[in-house]
Structure 1
Amino acid sequence: MFLKISSDIHLEHLSVADAPALYEAVELSRANLAQYMAWEKSVADVSGARAYIKSRLTSGLDRAQWFSIQFHNQFSGVFGVKSLDRDKGVCELGYWLADNARGNRVVGQILAVMIPYLANEQGVRTIEFQCLENNFASIKIIERAGARLLRKVSNTLDIPNKEQAIGIYSLHV
């Protein structure tokens, strides 16, 4: 699947063949990713990138879909519909962005396309996000999309600053 977001951004279904590009993006963005993404340590080589991708593609979560983010035709991160419960009309979205695309409103543009798609084509009424409380850039993106903080839960991720909670955000569409 190829989904054009803008002239500079498109999404493609994530595949194991993306492992070398994913590893390169992680390697170039490791300092930023390490602050918020516990999986960053496991992507220490292309084999680790393959395992990361396989774990997403075989998560077993209802209707999960994972995409590579392509910015200027370069692998620039991952966007996921982590789960989608059509009966309840709820889905969870997640993403990470490589340094080569940061500061360009890439995720905001993706959300501007995906949120209406999920609402109109998939019957989603509520979109949820999880975000570490010190990840101010990500919080700004999801709040700009209209999501609001519902509650905070304890952080069990293996990251620096473990004392920060995880915020659960919700957007009603």
Structure 2
Amino acid sequence: MFTRPLGDDGAELRPLEPWQAEEFLAHIDRGRDFIGRYVGLPDLVTDLESARGWLQRYADKAAADSGRLYGIWLDGLLVGGVLFRVFDAEQGTCEAGCWLEPAAAGRGLVTRAVRVLIDWAVDQRGIHRVEWVLSAGNTPSANVAKRLGMTRDGVLRDRFVFRGERHSDEVWSVLAPEWRAARETG
């Protein structure tokens, strides 16, 4: 449907949809261990059926206006994704998230892609608060939040069990007035 360039390095943002399940599964397989350090996605996407099902859940969320999913392509290869895991236009809140395979890490792709998402959420949908929730200790994700001008709201200690161990979440956020002000001065 659309492609949004993320710079002049061949990076693009595009919708990620169920018909792309084979490409999505190949991408997850390439980055399974790396992605799975902090994100449960590789545990959910293990074969073509589960890949298609996961993508369909986000297609259904988009249809219900409760989430969105986009892939990050670099030189035509799917290397990661960004999403609105939660999207509540009525309350004016959403939660953005991401994942990336190792070959694409360190290029600023996630930061650039999430900027596009936040711009759309704030400017087009009237979202007031964008959250970024990360597993405590996930320094690259915290660095993205910092680059986006988010504020660390706090830590939810021992919030969830991931692969048999308790983990804490850090919650970061940016409010629409802060986002707009930073864009004007940045």
- More deviation in 58-67 or 162-171? 58-67
Contact 2:21 2:48 in 1 (8 A): yes
Equivalent runs, 1:106-145 vs 2, <5 Å = 106-145=109-148
Residue 78 of structure 2: aligned partner: 75
Question: What letter corresponds to residue 7 of structure 2 in structure 1?
Answer: S
Match of 1:156 among 155, 160, 163: 160
Runs of 4+ in 1 over 3 A off after TM superposition: 59-63
Residue 16 of structure 2: aligned partner: 14
Contact 1:64 1:83 in 2 (8 A): yes
User: What per-residue deviation string (whole Å, max 9, x for no partner) do you get for residues 54-109 of structure 1?
Assistant: 22223486431111111221111221122333333222111111223111110111
Equivalent runs, 1:40-119 vs 2, <5 Å = 40-59=42-61, 62-119=65-122
C-alpha distance in 1, partners of 2:44/2:115? 31
How far 1:133 sits from its partner (Å)?
A: 0.4
Residue 33 of structure 2: aligned partner: 31
Contact 1:19 1:46 in 2 (8 A): yes
C-alpha distance in 2, partners of 1:30/1:163? 21
Contact 2:72 2:113 in 1 (8 A): no
Question: What letter corresponds to residue 57 of structure 1 in structure 2?
Answer: A
C-alpha distance in 2, partners of 1:88/1:39? 27
Structure 2 residue runs of 5 or longer lacking an equivalent are 177-186
User: What per-residue deviation string (whole Å, max 9, x for no partner) do you get for residues 98-157 of structure 1?
Assistant: 223111110111123332232222212211011000111111111110112212223324
- Output the TM-score relative to the length of structure 2: 0.82
- Output the TM-score relative to the length of structure 1: 0.87
C-alpha distance in 2, partners of 1:135/1:116? 24
* Number of residue pairs aligned between Structure 1 and Structure 2: 172
C-alpha distance in 2, partners of 1:155/1:56? 24
C-alpha distance in 2, partners of 1:51/1:37? 18
- Larger RCO, structures 1/2 (Cα 8 Å, 6+ apart): 1
- More deviation in 123-132 or 108-117? 108-117
Q: RMSD value over aligned CA atoms?
A: 2.0
**Percentage of identical aligned residues:** 19
